[in-house]
Chain A
Amino acid sequence: MADLLHISHLDARHGLLPAVRDLSLTVSDGEAVALVGANGAGKSTLLRTVAGAHPAAGGTVTFDGDDITGLAAHRRVTRGLALVPEGRKLFPDLTVEENLLVAGRRARPGPWSVDTVLDAFPLLRPIRHKRAGSLSGGQQQATSIGRALMTNPRLLLVDEVSLGLAPVAVDSVYESLTALIADGATVVLVEQDLSRAMSVADRVVCMLEGRVVLDTPVGEVTRDQVTDAYFGLGRAGTTSAPVETPAAHPTPERT
């Protein structure tokens, strides 16, 4: 499989605070990668930096062989990168259909159109003319994923899909994501809920304090190993790792 995304020695900061430190990561065509880690580990910043919504302070991002580190976000979209942002970030005064159409206007040619998105997310069909701001969290999340798909991405970055959703809504969103991944989409998925993440992904990458501490195929790792990496346990070098009982599963935080 060809490398689609190659991140090399990437640094990203919020002011003086480093969020991503000297991070290198490769994603191949057709892979589904789960990116896990505690709050503040730098997952969202990493995704936003790859999508061009956050500036890189150092290192390079290569997409399909081209260096895109300095490219504006909207140009990355036309190359086939799409981010489903944390908090969904729909255009609240536009209808569901208009949210989709905005993303589709300058899209790469590909299989996704308003009709195919509505087929993939049947719950959106009856509400296609409703204002996005008036929808429930699950409907908004489906619209947000659909909107990203409208750009016909080659790599879909998904940030915290289940955050703030009712469990039944999470189930339906994951159903759609599983179908997408089964169709061979390349996805990087940030998720707080470890079981969810490991159930859909081929590979799990764990971040801690801006660095990758674990990068392994899902089949070759146990939950406990990921949990240890998640909290930085068993690693002599980390001093400021949060001290919590290792037996406790990392509860998905709902903020």
Chain B
Amino acid sequence: MSWINALVQGLFLGGLYALFACGLSLLFGVMRIINLAHGDLAVLGAFGVWWVSDRADVSPFLALLAVLPVMLALGYALQRTVLARSLRGGELTPLLTTFGLAIVLQNALLQIFSPDVRSLGPSVGSLSTGSWKITDQLSVPYLGVLILAVAVGVLGALQFLLQRTGFGREMRATAQDPDTAALVGVPAASVYARAAAIAVAVAALAGTFLALHSTFDASSGPTQLVFAFEAVVIGGLGSLWGTLTGGVVLGIAQTLGAQIDPQYSILAGHLVFLVILAGPRGRFIATRRAHA
């Protein structure tokens, strides 16, 4: 029964990873940018929510409503100023730029908020700790269900946006061939900026749920980036539902690993990632990148 419990907890953890991964997947899919600052932008969002809810003494969910538009604007501005310029410098420049951005963000957060470890969990009361007890060994946490529901909702909304709306079509067209998209009247720069805005806002959402689920500090970003990256690769690049699957597979691998021995938790996730990278899908990713 405790194995089933580990499986269920892994499913919910996977929801969080999928939430982290979809912003990363979106930026890579549309712009071929691997955003190494993704995890730190998420942590920035978490700090934003913590700061607003601390200052205004409101629930983190209300604070999130205030922070999300700010993060949308930040993503938009980031693309217009920094990323657009580095994209012109070739394929590797954005990688260096976002790496630099990650270092700047980590150190700025450390400077402003100190190295204290924080959590938003206490400020939502029983939501973060409570659960439905199914049996003695199996319980379903409120927060886990909420995170998974939000992840499915966000991924579904993104999928709808990409497949069914005019803006989504422009985004897919620009992802496939930006030069030709311009020739049919699509301004690539503005499509890119809006994609970056969405990606950064979703990262902030993920960061907030991380802060509700466990703890965070100024240096939490890179670990989350690694998990998000693994979830994207496991699930397949460019597929949003695949990203959800990838997150869940990674989450379950970690909790099952922890079930064997707590020190195997992270390692089990990495091993699943490496196995998939070595398999046929890994070769598919390699050829896909060569074409890009």
B172 x A74 contact (CB < 8 A): no
Chain B: CB-nearest residue to A97: B169
| Sample of 10 A–B contacts (CB below 8 Å) | A52-B183, A74-B181, A74-B187, A74-B188, A77-B182, A78-B185, A83-B183, A89-B177, A93-B172, A94-B176
Chain A: CB-nearest residue to B180: A89
User: What is the CA–CA distance of A195 and B182 in the complex, to the nearest angstrom?
Assistant: 32
B residues 158-196 near A (Cβ < 8 Å) are 166, 169-170, 172-173, 176-177, 179-188
Chain B: CB-nearest residue to A89: B180
List, in ascending order, chain A residues with CB within 8 A of B188's CB.
74
A151 x B185 contact (CB < 8 A): yes
Q: With A53-B179, A92-B176, A94-B176 known to touch, is A151 a contact of B184 (CB < 8 Å)?
A: yes
As a 0/1 sequence over residues 174 to 197 of chain A, the CB contacts with chain B under 8 angstroms (1 = contact) are 000000000000000000000000
Partner of A148, one of B172, B182, B184, B186: B184
Partner of A106, one of B176, B179, B186: B186
B182 x A91 contact (CB < 8 A): no
Partner of B182, one of A52, A93, A105: A52
CB-based closest 6 A-B pairs: A77-B185, A103-B184, A73-B182, A89-B180, A106-B185, A102-B173
A74 x B169 contact (CB < 8 A): no
A85 x B187 contact (CB < 8 A): no
A residues 60-87 near B (Cβ < 8 Å) are 72-74, 77-78, 82-83, 85
As a 0/1 sequence over residues 86 to 105 of chain B, the CB contacts with chain A under 8 angstroms (1 = contact) are 00000000000000000000
User: What is the CA–CA distance of A85 and B179 in the complex, to the nearest angstrom?
Assistant: 10
Q: How large is the interface on B (under 10, 10 to 19, 20 to 34, 35 or more residues)?
A: 10 to 19
List, in ascending order, chain A residues with CB within 8 A of B177's CB.
89, 91
Q: How large is the interface on A (under 10, 10 to 19, 20 to 34, 35 or more residues)?
A: 20 to 34
Most buried by B among A52, A92, A102: A102
Can you name 8 extra interface pairs (CB under 8 A) apart from A73-B183, A74-B187? Answer: A51-B183, A52-B182, A74-B182, A74-B183, A74-B185, A91-B176, A102-B166, A107-B185
Partner of A103, one of B172, B179, B185, B187: B185
A101 interface hit (Cβ, 8 Å): yes
Main SS of chain B's interface residues?
Answer: helix
Distance of B172 from chain A, by nearest CB (Å): 6
A101 x B184 contact (CB < 8 A): no
A102 x B176 contact (CB < 8 A): no
List, in ascending order, chain A residues with CB within 8 A of B173's CB.
91, 94, 99, 102
B183 x A91 contact (CB < 8 A): no
Distance of B249 from chain A, by nearest CB (Å): 25
A102 x B182 contact (CB < 8 A): no
A150 interface hit (Cβ, 8 Å): yes
Chain B: CB-nearest residue to A77: B185
Distance of B37 from chain A, by nearest CB (Å): 28
B183 x A77 contact (CB < 8 A): yes
A residues 19-53 near B (Cβ < 8 Å) are 51-53
List, in ascending order, chain B residues with CB within 8 A of A77's CB.
182-185
A203 interface hit (Cβ, 8 Å): no
Distance of B203 from chain A, by nearest CB (Å): 25
As a 0/1 sequence over residues 182 to 221 of chain A, the CB contacts with chain B under 8 angstroms (1 = contact) are 0000000000000000000000000000000000000000
Most buried by B among A51, A74, A94, A98: A74
A147 interface hit (Cβ, 8 Å): yes
B176 x A147 contact (CB < 8 A): no
User: What is the CA–CA distance of A86 and B2 in the complex, to the nearest angstrom?
Assistant: 62
A residues 83-122 near B (Cβ < 8 Å) are 83, 85, 89, 91-94, 98-99, 101-103, 105-107
Distance of A107 from chain B, by nearest CB (Å): 7
User: What is the CA–CA distance of A192 and B187 in the complex, to the nearest angstrom?
Assistant: 32
A102 x B184 contact (CB < 8 A): yes
User: What is the CA–CA distance of A92 and B183 in the complex, to the nearest angstrom?
Assistant: 16
List, in ascending order, chain B residues with CB within 8 A of A101's CB.
166, 169
A105 x B180 contact (CB < 8 A): no
B184 x A94 contact (CB < 8 A): no
Distance of B292 from chain A, by nearest CB (Å): 13
A105 x B166 contact (CB < 8 A): yes
A72 x B187 contact (CB < 8 A): yes
List, in ascending order, chain B residues with CB within 8 A of A94's CB.
169, 172-173, 176
User: What is the CA–CA distance of A35 and B266 in the complex, to the nearest angstrom?
Assistant: 64
Distance of A91 from chain B, by nearest CB (Å): 5
User: What is the CA–CA distance of A93 and B162 in the complex, to the nearest angstrom?
Assistant: 12
User: What is the CA–CA distance of A147 and B186 in the complex, to the nearest angstrom?
Assistant: 13
A91 x B185 contact (CB < 8 A): no
User: What is the CA–CA distance of A187 and B177 in the complex, to the nearest angstrom?
Assistant: 25
Partner of A85, one of B169, B172, B176, B183: B183
User: What is the CA–CA distance of A99 and B180 in the complex, to the nearest angstrom?
Assistant: 11
A105 x B172 contact (CB < 8 A): no
Most buried by A among B166, B179, B180, B184: B184
B181 x A102 contact (CB < 8 A): yes
List, in ascending order, chain B residues with CB within 8 A of A52's CB.
182-183
A residues 115-150 near B (Cβ < 8 Å) are 147-148, 150
